[in-house]
């Protein structure tokens, strides 16, 4: 492939790509703002990967130059897997406007070609699915999560690519995860195998779920392993992974149903906490590891919204308004993207000192997880409801709201 035009989709972009996020205008309607954010994230990754040029074109930014060669082994699968996990519900969405459907068609076709190149051993962009290091387990699971969230992708792949995908995911079985949130990564891959009627390893799911039962700390919060860490990993990984793994496996093995109900109460409580962490200006506490995943800090709240599982205390339009404020706040920072549209390390703009040693350009695309509610049609109450202040904004405007309690 020499150009995207060979896919027959180049003219379908309904608005120009916003390369500098500072040009995203808060006056845009919320859904348009979210779609502009999606385009900013998806365009460079999927366009390059569909052309078999991701490894050639994507920069590998790290905190320290000495780490480039190591993180280059993993960063491309990080970018693709994490982006896909975030935009998949939108790729699956129906009842879209004509212009949005054109945009969806474009990215759907790019994604199919990207999957083909990422999993084809003969392609230049064939990725590290477990040939080196442990990191591929993480991002293979995000990739599998994306396929779970968009079944139409799987059904649209040709037979050889499906075979390649399964082969790639099976490679990760030789990676032994540490006894922390990483246990959920093999569990998600096995959950994907359940959805496509492939043989699966129930032990990997059972072990991950039961360890998280042990690690529950109360008030909606799990430990990351036996210890509690004050960061956003409960949202980055733990709650959304547990929610969807249990939703899938409970249908197959009813022994998991009581655990699913038990954990749902925890999911609801943590969704309340996340909504309250959003300040009245859309900022949120810069606490803990991986803060450069930016808007990915609200993965769980977005996942509960797209699954119509928000707690009764949270009106869907209230959550939309809160998440929109987060997107506005984050994307108005200068230098979030480089001159070619790739994400740069930081929380509010370019702040490489905020990164850990495992962070590279590809890691940052977990920020797409906030976009999950784009999988809901415009007619859904999440989008159709009138703007409504979120909890922090109500409180700091003097509104008398009920006290917060762990219910």
pLDDT over 60 at 274, yes or no: yes
Please say if the pLDDT value at position 15 is more than 50: no
Mean pLDDT of 72-92: 98
pLDDT of residue 246: 98
DSSP string across 71-98: HTTTHHHHHHHHHHHHHHHHHH--S--H
Mean pLDDT of 134-153: 98
Mean pLDDT of all residues in 67-80: 98
* 30 within a domain of the structure (yes/no): no
137 pLDDT above the threshold of 60? yes
Give domain status of residue 402, yes or no. Answer: no
- Residue 407 confidence (pLDDT): 62
SS percent in the chain: helix, strand, coil, step 5: 60, 0, 35
Overall average pLDDT of the 40-61 stretch:
98
- SS3 label, residue 352: helix
* Predicted pLDDT at 28: 61
Q: Is the pLDDT of residue 375 over 50?
A: yes
Q: What tokens were used for 384?
A: 């159709």
Identify the pLDDT of residue 216. 98
The pLDDT value recorded for residue 278 is: 98
Q: What is the mean pLDDT of residues 356-381?
A: 98
Q: How many residues does the chain have?
A: 407
With 0-12 / 13-18 / 19 or more C-beta atoms within 10 angstroms meaning exposed / middle / buried, residue 363 is buried
Query: How many domains is the chain partitioned into structurally?
Result: 1
Give the span between the Cα atoms of 217 and 90, in whole angstroms: 34
Report the distance separating Cα 76 and Cα 86, nearest Å.
Answer: 16
CATH of the domain at 262: 1.50.10
> Is residue 401 included in any domain, yes or no?
no
389 pLDDT tier (thresholds 50, 70, 90): very high
pLDDT, tens digit, for every residue of 395-405?
999 999 999 98
Region 21-46: mean pLDDT is: 81
pLDDT of residue 10 exceeding 80, the answer is no
Assigned token pair, 161: 């690519």
Q: What is the pTM of this model?
A: 0.93
Domain assignment present for residue 186? The answer is: yes
What are the tokens at 224? 């990351």
List of long-range contacts for 187-193, beta carbons under 8 Å, 24+ apart = 187/241, 187/245, 188/141, 188/144, 188/145, 188/148, 188/241, 188/244, 188/245, 189/140, 189/141, 189/144, 191/144, 191/148, 191/244, 191/245, 191/248, 191/249, 192/144, 192/145, 192/147, 192/148, 193/166, 193/169
pLDDT at 406: 81
Considering the domain boundaries, does residue 404 fall inside one? no
Mean pLDDT, to the nearest integer, of 252-279?
A: 97
The reported pLDDT for the residue numbered 276 is: 98
pLDDT, tens digit, 9 for 90 and up, residues 183-217: 999 999 999 999 999 999 999 999 999 999 999 99
Q: Give the mean pLDDT of 45-58.
A: 98
Domain with 379 in it: 4-19+35-396
The DSSP element (H or E) to which 204 belongs, if any, is: helix 202-214
Task: Tell me what percent of the residues of the chain surpass a pLDDT of 90.
Answer: 92
Residues ≥6 apart with Cβ < 8 Å to 266: 216, 220, 222, 239
Give the tens place of pLDDT for each residue, 227-258: 999 999 999 999 999 999 999 999 999 999 99
* Token pair belonging to 369: 């997880």
Asked whether the predicted pLDDT for residue 17 surpasses 90, the reply is: no
Average pLDDT over residues 68-93: 98
* Mean pLDDT, residues 31-50 taken together: 98
Strand partners, 337: 343
Residue 29 in any domain: the answer is: no
Place 268 in a pLDDT band, splitting at 50, 70 and 90.
very high
Question: Average pLDDT over the chain, rounded to whole?
Answer: 93
pLDDT of 275 over the 80 cut: yes
- Residue 303: pLDDT above 80? yes
State the Cα angle at 393 between 389 and 395, rounded to 5°: 115
Give the mean pLDDT of 297-302.
Answer: 99
Return the structure tokens found at 68: 């480039």
């Amino acid at each position: 492939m020499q150009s995207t035009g060979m896919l027959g989709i180049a003219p379908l972009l309904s608005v120009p790509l916003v390369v500098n996020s500072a040009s995203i205008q808060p006056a845009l309607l919320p859904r348009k703002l979210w779609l502009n954010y999606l385009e900013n994230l998806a365009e460079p990754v999927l366009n390059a990967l569909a052309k078999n040029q991701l490894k050639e074109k994507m920069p590998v930014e790290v905190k320290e130059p000495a780490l480039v060669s190591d993180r280059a082994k993993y960063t491309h699968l990080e970018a693709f897997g994490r982006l896909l996990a975030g935009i998949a519900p939108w790729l699956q969405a129906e009842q879209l406007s004509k212009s949005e459907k054109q945009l969806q068609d474009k990215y759907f076709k790019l994604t199919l070609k990207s999957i083909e190149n990422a999993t084809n051993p003969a392609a230049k962009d064939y990725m590290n699915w477990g040939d080196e290091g442990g990191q591929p387990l993480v991002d293979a699971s995000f990739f599998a999560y994306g396929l779970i969230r968009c079944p139409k992708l799987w059904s649209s792949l040709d037979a050889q690519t499906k075979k390649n995908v399964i082969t790639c995911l099976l490679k990760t079985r030789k990676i032994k995860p540490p006894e922390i949130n990483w246990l959920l990564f093999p569990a998600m891959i096995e959950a994907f195998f359940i959805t496509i009627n492939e043989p699966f390893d129930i032990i990997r799911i059972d072990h991950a779920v039961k360890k998280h039962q042990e690690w529950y700390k109360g008030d909606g919060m799990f430990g990351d392993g036996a210890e509690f860490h004050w960061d956003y990993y409960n949202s980055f990984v733990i709650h959304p992974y547990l929610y969807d793994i249990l939703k899938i496996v409970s249908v197959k093995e009813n022994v998991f149903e009581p655990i699913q109900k038990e954990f749902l109460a925890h999911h609801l409580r943590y969704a309340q906490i996340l909504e309250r962490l959003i300040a009245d200006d859309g900022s949120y506490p810069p606490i803990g590891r991986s803060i450069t995943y930016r808007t990915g800090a609200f993965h769980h709240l977005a996942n509960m919204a797209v699954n119509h599982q928000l707690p009764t205390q949270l009106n869907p339009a209230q959550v939309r308004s809160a998440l929109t404020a987060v997107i506005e706040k984050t994307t108005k920072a200068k230098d979030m993207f480089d001159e070619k549209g790739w994400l740069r390390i930081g929380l509010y703009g370019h702040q490489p000192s905020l990164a850990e040693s495992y962070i590279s350009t590809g890691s940052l695309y977990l920020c797409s997880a906030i976009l999950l509610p784009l999988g809901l049609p415009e007619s859904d109450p999440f989008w159709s409801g009138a703007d409504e202040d979120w909890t922090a904004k109500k409180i700091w405007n003097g509104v008398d709201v009920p006290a917060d309690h762990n219910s």
